């Protein structure tokens, strides 16, 4: 679901606009929400949104809906609330430099980085990022189970970086 200025727009895993009438208000809670999209759909129903950022975020949502364990997908396991699109981005020709963030229902933020189809030698690939999320969850549980809100960076090659968001006073680094 893409949160627009006038409500939610359903899209598929490719960023194709779906008919809103096929979804109820309660369906919004069941699907990943993509926030901070500054464009309106340029395509009609059944066509691409027209913004590569939406397509990239939809691909990330597809990854996060994969099974993390036998009973939960990543979205559920991490108690995620939204995929945050990069701010102040004009329509890019390429999504290579877009940096996405995940927000939990409790307000913690996970810096995901580039969309799943992009590779960069300075950043982990999708498999590595999912392994980091597994490591994070096995060590601490959901980010929302921690006492404070956290900023968690899973992108660095050397390990997970965490710092408290609410006070910005503590830094903890988990090495692989």
Q: Where are the domains of the chain?
A: 51-175
Mean pLDDT of the chain: 87
pLDDT band at 174 (very low <50, low <70, confident <90, very high): very low
Query: pTM score, two decimals?
Result: 0.87
Q: How many CB atoms lie within 10 A of CB 153?
A: 19
pLDDT at 18: 96
Residue 120's pLDDT band (cuts 50, 70, 90):
confident
Confidence band for 32, pLDDT divided at 50, 70 and 90: very high
Q: How far, in Å, are 35, 54, 105, 158 from residue 83 at the CA level?
A: 6, 10, 11, 24
Mean pLDDT of 53-77: 95
Q: Could you give the CA distance from residue 98 to residue 116 in angstroms, rounded to a whole number?
A: 11
Q: Give phi and psi for 49, each to the nearest 5.
A: -55, -40
Q: Which of 8-17, 94-103, 110-119, 149-158 has the lowest mean pLDDT?
A: 94-103
């Amino acid at each position: 679901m893409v949160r627009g200025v006038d409500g939610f727009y359903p899209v598929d895993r490719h960023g194709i606009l779906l008919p809103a009438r096929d979804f109820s208000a309660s369906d919004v809670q069941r699907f990943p929400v993509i926030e901070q999209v500054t464009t309106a759909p340029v395509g009609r129903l059944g066509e691409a949104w027209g913004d590569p950022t939406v397509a990239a975020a939809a691909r990330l949502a597809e990854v996060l809906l994969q099974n993390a364990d036998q009973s939960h997908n990543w979205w559920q396991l991490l108690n995620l609330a939204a995929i945050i699109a990069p701010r102040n981005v004009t329509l890019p020709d390429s999504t290579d430099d877009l940096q996405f963030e995940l927000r939990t229902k409790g307000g913690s933020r996970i810096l995901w980085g580039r969309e799943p189809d992009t590779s960069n030698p300075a950043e982990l690939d999708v498999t590595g990022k999912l392994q980091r999320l597994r490591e994070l969850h096995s060590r601490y549980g959901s980010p929302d189970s921690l006492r404070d809100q956290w900023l968690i960076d899973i992108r660095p090659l050397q390990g997970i970086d965490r710092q408290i968001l609410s006070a910005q006073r503590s830094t903890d680094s988990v090495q692989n």
